[in-house]
Amino acid sequence: RCEFVALDVWNKRELLSRERTALGFYVSGHPLDAYGAEVKRFCTTNIAGLSDLPPEAKVEVAGIVEGYRERPTKAGSKMAFFILEDATDRVEVIVRPKFLESSRDALKSGEPVLISGQVQFEGERGPGGGGGGEDDEEAQLTKKLLLTDVKPLASYFANKAKAVRVTLEVDGLADQMLLTLKRTLLGHPGSTPVQLELRGIDWRVCLRGEGLYVAPSDLLMTQLERQFGRKVAELV
């Protein structure tokens, strides 16, 4: 008789990581989906939106680092290159020598990051052999990003956040789930207050000032997602 070992269900992050490892691309979503509201609130644009900005525009954009590599310069120092990817597009990022030492650890961590930098376009405007239209002109321009700073996405949002909001549907919510929620929050003590929002079919109530303060982190968000089977927490 075959016996199967009981294993924990993969959370969204684990599932996406295994999809990328096995297939080379994401199937059921993107790692930044967990930060959807925060990315819209705190970032300048997404990667697709870089094409609409003027050269040298300063931006803050979130993504996943792919293909990180370093190369020596003629002066004997090093610079780095990598692809930053979100759910909308990909862009090559250039790290000049003076920014490399302070950026290397975050870029090689495998965690989502927030890149501060300047937009750069390479190529020439002009007819592209397809009639000289606007599409042909733009096709000759390649957008890139010159990095000036990088931060782990979770810690950046945590510093920006005024509170952690946990939203739960009252229907089917058991007392044990609330106790588990409290234990999880108490396991991440910090200085950011927790807001608990309870929702019914046509009503909602937000509870504040309950004395719970946490240190927001990717680990906390992942644990809450695993416990409730979906994203229930966001930084506000």
Over the stretch 119-148, which tens digit does the pLDDT of each residue have?
A: 999 875 454 444 444 454 445 679 999 999
d(CA 18, CA 25) in angstroms, rounded, equals 10
Q: Are 51 and 45 in contact (CB under 8 A)?
A: no
Flag whether pLDDT at 21 surpasses 60. Answer: yes
Q: Longest C-alpha distance within the chain, in Å?
A: 71
Q: Which pLDDT score is estimated for 68?
A: 97
Neighbours of 211 (CB within 10 A): 6
Residue 5 has pLDDT above 50, yes or no: yes
Burial 1-21 (b: 16+ CB within 10 A, else e): eeeeeeeeeebbbeebeeebe
Q: How far apart are CA 65 and CA 135, in angstroms?
A: 29
Give the three-class secondary structure for 204: strand
Task: Please name the residue that has the structure tokens 């997404």.
Answer: 46
Percent of the chain with pLDDT strictly greater than 70: 86
Q: Are the CB atoms for 60 and 86 separated by under 8 Å?
A: no
Average of pLDDT values for 65-94? 96
Q: How far apart are CA 123 and CA 135, in angstroms?
A: 14
Query: What is the per-residue pLDDT for 102?
Result: 96
For the whole model, what pTM was predicted?
A: 0.77
Is the Cα torsion angle 148, 143, 94, 157 positive or negative in sign?
A: positive
Those residues with Cβ within 8 angstroms of residue 172's Cβ, 6 or more apart along the chain or in another chain: none
pLDDT, residue 131, reads: 47
User: Which of helix, strand or coil describes residue 153?
Assistant: helix
